[in-house]
Amino acid sequence: MTRTILRRLAACSAALLMSATPLLPTPMTGTPAAQAAPTAPTYVGKVRWAYYVPYAGDSLESLKQNIRTLTHVSPYWYQINGQGELVGGETKTNAAERGTVIDLARRNGVKVLPMVKNNDQYEAFTPALADAATRAKAVEGIVRMVVDGNFEGVNIDFEGISADDRPMLTQFMADLAPQMRAKGKIVSQAMAAKDGERTTGWAGEIGRAHI
């Protein structure tokens, strides 16, 4: 069966962390009003969100075939290490490939929110979450990447996180979200499905009640 990127629709696996306030035009009066801060958009209706992974040989063709059915796409272009640095790692991307994907999305009105994964895991990734300075460096790098790339937001897909680091992962998202929203950007997070409270395994890192 032909694989498609749609098998990982983030409508099911990502929690959208976005502002609920619409961006409205500022009324003009005799004195120009201060420019309102950008606000992350809200959505009514269906969200069809897919991942694009350049290391899979059929992913680009699948994206081309299905792009008209999507509202959002998260290309896997970035990783972050335990030192809070954005790196390429296993993403196997290049400028030409990124340009093709961005052009395809823009021509079809699909919002681009690059996926950021962790290339260090468990204890090796703890500093990026637990150390305030390293965490701030990571957050700053993500925000700068989104703004400089003129992307609509970011998708955080951290995997292999120690369950003990759950509060620090929550803090990471709490630090990232307001900075992104202040620039009118969307923040989303991929989460492992769970049917109850978990403290072990892939779902052990997620504090859903707080995020």
Q: Are 117 and 157 in contact (CB under 8 A)?
A: yes
What is the distance between the alpha carbons of residues 118 and 89, in angstroms, rounded to a whole number?
A: 10
183 burial type by CB count under 10 A (0-12 exposed, 13-18 middle, 19+ buried): middle
In 3D, which of 37, 34, 99, 74 has the Cα closest to residue 156? Answer: 74
Which has more confidence, 90 or 34?
90
Residue 11: its pLDDT value, please? 36
Pairing of strands 115-118, 111-112: unpaired
pLDDT in tens, 22-34: 222 333 344 444 5
pLDDT in tens, 118-165: 999 999 999 999 999 999 999 999 999 999 999 999 999 998 888 888
What is the distance between the alpha carbons of residues 166 and 173, in angstroms, rounded to a whole number?
A: 11
Q: What is the mean pLDDT of residues 169-174?
A: 93
- Lowest pLDDT segment from 16-25, 77-86, 199-208: 16-25
Residue 59: its pLDDT value, please? 93
Q: Is the pLDDT of residue 5 over 80?
A: no
What is the distance between the alpha carbons of residues 82 and 74, in angstroms, rounded to a whole number?
A: 22
What is the distance between the alpha carbons of residues 186 and 183, in angstroms, rounded to a whole number?
A: 9
